[in-house]
Amino acid sequence: MEPEKEIGKILMIDDDEDVLLAAKLLLKKHAHQVIIEKNPNKIPFLLNNDTYDVILLDMNFSKDITSGKEGYYWLSQILEKDPNAVVILITAFGDVEMAVRALKEGATDFVLKPWQNEKLLATISTAIKLKKSYLEVDQLKKAKKLLEEDINQPYKDIIGKSESMQHVYNLIDKVAKTDANVLILGENGTGKELVARAIHLRSLRKDKVFVSVDMGAITETLFESELFGHTKGAFTDAREDRTGRFEIANGGTLFLDEIGNLSLPLQSKLLASLQNRQVTRIGSNKPIQIDIRLICATNMPIHDMVGENTFRQDLLYRINTVEITIPPLRERVKDIPLLAEHFVHMYAGKYRKSISKIDKTATEILQHYNWPGNIRELQHAIERAIIMCENELLTMDDFFFLTLNTTHEDTLPLNFNLEEIEKNVIQKAINKHSGNISKAAKELGLTRASLYRRLEKHGL
């Protein structure tokens, strides 16, 4: 069985045919392909039409036997075409000084005429390894450049140019470099965790861990174990020590999502840990000091919950040094085409579909739909449309499942009676804010007294 050849493709340029034939006879046993050429003027053609792992280049040709000028010239031409080219110079014993100069100008190595076969093969083998290292370094540089571009591209994962989103970006920029606790408010599917991660990535803790905990998914019995940890034997199923999320996040950022779902007893335990900056594992009496940046989020009306005594006011003060409210998708309609385009590219690639656009009518449908599930619902709608679409363009027919559902309160009214429109708009504002007159009046641009008069007028 023929041994595997380690060398790929070699190009050798020398005006001595005997040298070329001798080299080819030797190298073809160790390389997949050996190309020999006696005319250096063909170098540009050869480089334009192929790539080579190693190029063996004579320093002197018949027109200029001893000065090496032609060698320097063709070396520069090769490196201009491919800066990573591995060029081994072939030179006579008396040309060593020229070879050293050529090394300074970019050559990889040189071999002396007449060469020793083992020495030539060893030099080429080393050059092959060097070529690979050049490529690895080049890939690392490109990866580094892409990483830097990602870092320098603000809010790459948060898509939106609307005025309301610009306000969110401004708050993120202001709060990120501090260690202030942040409370993110917003409906389901608005991207609260993306905002939390954006804060972390712009913080002084960006090189540390970001730990996300869905508080709504943690049961009462597992709360302390999940957040604070436990020791082996602390309870029946505690077969080994467990590190809690607070410890895991130590030095970094802890994101507590859906914090409004916590019961009052669990709120008390959380508050105690935040105030004391320490946790104690279940089954242990030894407190563990913690250093975290806390970010919380909820889709619940947490300020109203304080008034209803279902959320502790002192815990709210602790977690919302700065508050960021993410607008629902229906309040940032201008961002819908951008988001839709992003998800089209994402899912067209995932499902290998040649779909790149949504037509104007379909886009208008998306902009008039109410999106109760916000961005998450839009994402799922685009994914479903991409899967079912049989054309190269998404049209309104691909979103039939949305148009069937647009018969809710936010569609355009068929009745253009101004009294009825005013009544409907006021009712929507009241419903949106769960009967909170102050908030409804503020959104409608009215005083509380004016709103009360209109409520009485319309019998609401």
Q: What is the pLDDT of residues 195-207, one digit of tens each?
A: 999 999 999 999 8
Q: What is the pLDDT of residues 10-31, one digit of tens each?
A: 999 988 888 899 889 998 888 8
pLDDT at residue 285 tops 70: yes
pLDDT at residue 376 tops 90: yes
The verdict on 47 and 184 lying in the same domain is: no
The domain boundary, picked from 106, 140, 174, lies at 140
pLDDT at 418: 61
In a domain, 215, yes or no: yes
Return all residues near 170 (Cβ < 8 A) that are at least 6 apart.
none
pLDDT at 411: 43
Among 90-94, 140-144, 267-271, the range scoring the smallest mean pLDDT is: 140-144
The verdict on 333 and 373 lying in the same domain is: yes
In a domain, 285, yes or no: yes
The verdict on 299 and 381 lying in the same domain is: no
pLDDT at residue 381 tops 60: yes
Return all residues near 152 (Cβ < 8 A) that are at least 6 apart.
none
Query: What is the Cα–Cα distance from 211 to 190, expressed in whole angstroms?
Result: 20
Query: What is the Cα–Cα distance from 9 to 401, expressed in whole angstroms?
Result: 58
C-alpha 2, offset from chain centre? 47
Helices 374-388 and 336-350, axial angle in degrees (round to 10): 40
pLDDT at 154: 47
pLDDT at 306: 94
In a domain, 113, yes or no: yes
**Exposed, middle or buried by CB within 10 Å (0-12, 13-18, 19+), for 303?**
middle
Sheet holding 210-214, edge to edge: 210-214, 253-257, 293-298, 182-185, 322-325
The verdict on 335 and 449 lying in the same domain is: no
The verdict on 121 and 134 lying in the same domain is: yes
**Tokens standing for 128?**
């092959």
- Answer whether 257's CB lies under 8 Å from 213's CB: yes
Containing structural domain, residue 114? 7-140
- The secondary structure of 294-348, three-state, reads EEEEECCCHHHHHHCCCCCHHHHHHHCCEEEECCCHHHCHHHHHHHHHHHHHHHH
Return all residues near 389 (Cβ < 8 A) that are at least 6 apart.
353, 355, 398
pLDDT at 145: 57
Model-wide pTM > 0.75: no
What CATH number is associated with residue 432?
A: 1.10.10
pLDDT at residue 370 tops 70: yes
pLDDT at 66: 55
What CATH number is associated with residue 245?
A: 3.40.50.300
The verdict on 13 and 56 lying in the same domain is: yes
Query: What is the Cα–Cα distance from 381 to 387, expressed in whole angstroms?
Result: 10
The verdict on 52 and 198 lying in the same domain is: no
- Which of 134-138, 186-190, 231-235 holds the top average pLDDT? 186-190
In a domain, 15, yes or no: yes
Beta strand residue intervals within 38-118, DSSP E: 54-58, 87-92, 109-113
In a domain, 145, yes or no: no
Chain mean pLDDT for the chain? 84
Region 49-56 average pLDDT: 86
CA dist list (Å): 6 to 28, 123, 263: 11, 13, 67
Question: Into how many domains does the chain fold?
Answer: 4
- Which of 63-72, 218-227, 427-436 holds the top average pLDDT? 218-227
In a domain, 152, yes or no: no
Kindly indicate the confidence band of residue 148, based on its pLDDT and cuts at 50, 70 and 90.
low
**Tokens standing for 407?**
């018969």
Query: What is the Cα–Cα distance from 288 to 246, expressed in whole angstroms?
Result: 10
Instruction: Check residue 334 and give left, alpha or beta (phi > 0: left; psi -120 to 50: alpha).
Output: alpha
Q: Where are the alpha helices (DSSP H) in 50-162?
A: 69-81, 96-104, 117-152
Q: Which residue has the higher pLDDT, 95 or 311?
A: 311
Among 73-77, 128-132, 144-148, 202-206, the range scoring the smallest mean pLDDT is: 144-148
pLDDT at residue 94 tops 70: no
In a domain, 148, yes or no: no
Q: What is the pLDDT of residues 410-460, one digit of tens each?
A: 444 445 566 667 777 788 778 777 778 888 888 777 787 778 878 877 777
